[in-house]
Amino acid sequence: MGKDGRVGGLNVDPAVRDWQRSAAENAAALTKKQRKDRQRTTAKYDLPKWLKEAIIEAAQKTETSASQMAAFLMAWGLRLYLRRDVEMVDAIWMNKEKSATLRFESNLNIPREVEREIRSRAEE
């Protein structure tokens, strides 16, 4: 069906069009994987190369995917932030700096000592 609601050169009644869409998406017939896939979304983040490699290494050690490891670590860190974990909140405020762009007010930099620790532990 075209975006304009036309099928084979004919206009389709909006109710019929809606019915066809819902019939084509039978949620009860979806597999568990299909239902899970619908709840997920992909995101693109700029990461330093060393951090991406450390996530891949951690995922391999725990026998999971890098995507799952990254999602887990982001959720865990966000949980700490939302709980107002003192160490997490302090780290964020101590590593913020004024952004040179108009798009964002601040940049949040990963401290060098954190980078060094992650790199050394990832190599173990």
pLDDT (tens, 9 = 90+) of the chain, 124 residues, equals 455 555 566 777 888 777 777 666 666 667 777 777 777 788 899 999 999 999 999 999 999 999 999 999 999 999 999 999 999 999 999 999 999 999 999 999 999 999 999 999 877 7
Q: Quick one: CA dihedral 46, 47, 52, 58, positive or negative?
A: negative
Per-residue confidence (pLDDT) for residue 19, from 0 to 100: 76
Per-residue confidence (pLDDT) for residue 14, from 0 to 100: 82
For the chain, the structural domain boundaries read: 6-39, 49-122
* Separation of CA 21 from chain center: 28
Q: How far apart are CA 34 and CA 62, in angstroms?
A: 25
Q: How far apart are CA 51 and CA 122, in angstroms?
A: 10
User: What does each C-alpha distance from 15 to 4, 6, 11 come to in angstroms?
Assistant: 14, 13, 12
Q: Quick one: CA dihedral 89, 93, 96, 98, positive or negative?
A: positive
